[in-house]
Structure 1
Amino acid sequence: MDGLLPQTYLLGLIVLLAIVAIVVGRQLLRTRRDELSLIQFEQEGAATSKDAGRLYELASVQLRKRLYPQATANLRQALKRLSGEPDEAKALIENALGFALAAQKDFDGAVKHYRSALNAKADYPVALNNLAFAHERLLEPEKSADLYRKVLEFEPSNTTATKRLKRIERQLRSGQDASSPEAANRKGF
């Protein structure tokens, strides 16, 4: 009985270390893959490419690497070179550009591009989610709540929209409670 406890402890420790090693290894492989993709795009001269698809791919890698200014420039070039592509391609590029701008705290610019993405593809829940988040950052909770509700119409199982909507509704209720006469009486005003 006394020998079982240390063995169980060691076995648990080995399992925990194996899990950590797998997680770290996957992250290293993912990072290495992005680095190699970035090097390959640079060697091919993708930044000067006339192909919107290649520019979008380059910008996607840059977004994963958090190189937001470079990704923004490449996505703008991709939009300029977009011709004869389906509306879904424009929606993807506009959404990615909005994301890059939002990451740089330019929420007004992000809103503009998210709206363009939705003009290209009206039933695009990712762009709707992103637009709602940008309005949330611009301190427009009513617009955010409406947009999250619209996301849930398209995708009822969207956990991001559900969580954020509940949070906003809680904030709106507490804000209304704080401004009501009953709340003022409770606070002693």
Structure 2
Amino acid sequence: MEDGNYLVVYLGILLALLSVAAFFVLKQVWVTRRTEVTLSDLQTKLTKEKGTALEYYELGSLLLDKKLYAQAAVYLKKALKELPEEEAENAVLIHNALGYSYFAQDQFDLAIRQYNEALKIRPDYVTALNNLGHTYERKQLMPQALETYEKSLATEPANETAQRRADSLRKRLA
């Protein structure tokens, strides 16, 4: 091949790589912008008027994603208050999110309480079981953590997180 052909090939590869990179950057900008607009709209609406449980939950979840845990907890509590009786099953998600908010703030007792509330409603909720086990670990309550992970595995035997953590705890406790 001549030098000119190599140059065209290299430029073509470079252009293709830059196009792919630009696509992913623009996609991320679009997703972030959409999230920020939703967050802003919900905050504006909910400061002016009372919202629904779903709106409070959505705002709380967005704040969790942004690592604004204390603010998220406020809206998640409001979501629980506004949740209609006929949608009590959805309280599981809210309790779990609220537990995560407390966990992220190192308020482990409050997190444990919220995860247990979620499990009262739906005892087979694997995410809450995993989160509860992790919280017990952080509180250095290893036997309770292992028991919780084993419950999670009894519910979902293919749960890789619970399997990995349970194996680790068994080694530590042996």
Which TM-score applies when normalising by structure 1?
0.77
Write out aligned runs for 1:41-80 (5 A). Answer: 41-45=42-46, 48-80=49-81
**Contact 1:71–1:100 (8 Å) recurs in 2:** yes
1:84-163 pair list within 5 angstroms: 84-163=85-164
Task: State the distance in 1 between where 2:150 and 2:16 align.
Answer: 43
Q: Secondary structure at the residue paired with 1:86?
A: helix
2:30 equivalent in structure 1: 29
Q: Output the CA distance in 2 between the equivalents of 1:70 and 1:106.
A: 14
What is the percent sequence identity of the aligned residues? 38
Aligned equivalents of 1:102, 1:32: Cα separation in 2 = 28
1:76 maps to a residue whose letter is K
Sort the Cα spacing of 1:6 and 1:45 in 2 relative to 1 into closer, same or farther, 3 A. Answer: same
- The CA deviation at 1:42 is 2.2
Distance in 1 (CA, whole Å) between partners of 2:41 and 2:155 is 38
Size of the alignment, in residue pairs?
173
CA separation of 1:156 and 1:25: change in aligned 2, threshold 3 A:
farther
Cα separation, 1, equivalents of 2:90 and 2:17: 43
Q: Which whole-Å CA distance do the structure 2 matches of 1:48 and 1:107 have between them?
A: 32
Consecutive unaligned residues in structure 1, runs of 5 or more? 174-189
TM-score, with structure 2 as normaliser: 0.83
Unmatched 5+ residue regions in structure 2?
none
